[in-house]
Amino acid sequence: MAWDSLCGGDLLRPKIRSASSRTPGSQGRARTPSLEELQRLLWTRAHPTGHVDEVWPNLYVGDLYVARDKAQLSRMGISHVVNAAAGRFHIDTGPKFYKDLPVDYYGVEAEDNPNFDLSIYFYPVAQYIRAALKSPRGKVLVHCAMGISRSATLVLAFLMICEDMSLAEAIQTVRSHRGICPNSGFLKQLRELDLQLGRGKGRGAEAC
């Protein structure tokens, strides 16, 4: 059975789990695991996937339902939304959709396809998330359709670039709050980022 089919399906729950106890930082990068090792790490899921979960202080990963629930976003105090499935034929929200909320919007027109190059967005989105979290009362929702592949990949890249985590550490951090499953192509792109950051220790954090 293909890896991408193993990762399909959400267990939709409205509960928001907190990540307020997270501790930033890494104690140093270990060897980058193989793709197979990363897939095993992701497949051993500790938590189900809900509509939205806090995976890092004030950073949430969610699906299309929470992205369209403006009342819920208001209750959560979301100040910034990153739509990793933007565009007319995906989740067509955008600045006009949120015009009645104090929300800043960032759209990424990404396909949940192993052949899609999501890596071109790793640094721009990481920098956007970092700036948003540093803003007064900054709370960021990163979402796609199901909240397990595109959005999760961008959040993992943020943790690697701006919080100096290895890919394995980032996966473990997010998985402790949410079941995620980047497709095989995205996982390869994250692994390449891990190798690049390992060769240039600290370069990612400087970009933030």
At 208, the pLDDT band (50, 70, 90 cuts) reads: confident
User: Is pLDDT of 32 > 90?
Assistant: no
Residue among 144, 162, 181, 208 flagged as catalytic: 144
Residue 118 lies in a domain: yes
pLDDT of residue 139: 98
Name 44's Cβ contacts closer than 8 Å, sequence gap at least 6: none
Q: How many Cβ atoms sit within 10 Å of the Cβ of residue 31? A: 10
Core vs surface per residue 94-126: b (16+ CB within 10 A) or e: eeebbeeeebbbbbbebbbebebebbebbbebb
At 10, the pLDDT band (50, 70, 90 cuts) reads: very low
Residue 132 lies in a domain: yes
Residue 63 lies in a domain: yes
Alpha carbons 85 and 87: distance in angstroms, whole number: 7
**197 exposure class (CB count in 10 Å sphere: 0-12, 13-18, 19+):** buried
The partner residues of 107 in beta bridges, in order of sequence, read: 83
Residue 43 lies in a domain: no
Predicted structure pTM score: 0.83
Residue 48 lies in a domain: no
Residue 175 lies in a domain: yes
At 177, the pLDDT band (50, 70, 90 cuts) reads: very high
At 155, the pLDDT band (50, 70, 90 cuts) reads: very high
Dihedral over Cα of 88, 72, 58, 179: its sign: negative
Residue 106 lies in a domain: yes
The boundaries of the domain holding residue 188 are 58-207
User: Is pLDDT of 5 > 60?
Assistant: no
Verify whether residue 144 is a known catalytic residue.
yes
Least confident of 17-31, 70-84, 193-207: 17-31
What CATH code is carried by the domain that includes residue 140?
3.90.190.10
User: What does DSSP assign to residue 53?
Assistant: E
pLDDT of residue 1: 46
Beta carbons of 46 and 106 less than 8 angstroms apart: no
The partner residues of 109 in beta bridges, in order of sequence, read: 85
Residue 45 lies in a domain: no
Beta 80-83 vs 140-143: how paired, if at all? parallel
Alpha carbons 2 and 14: distance in angstroms, whole number: 29
Beta carbons of 201 and 29 less than 8 angstroms apart: yes
Give me the mean pLDDT over the 86-114 stretch: 94
Overall domain count for the chain: 1
pLDDT of residue 2: 52
DSSP assignment of 114-129, as one string?
A: TTS-GGGGHHHHHHHH
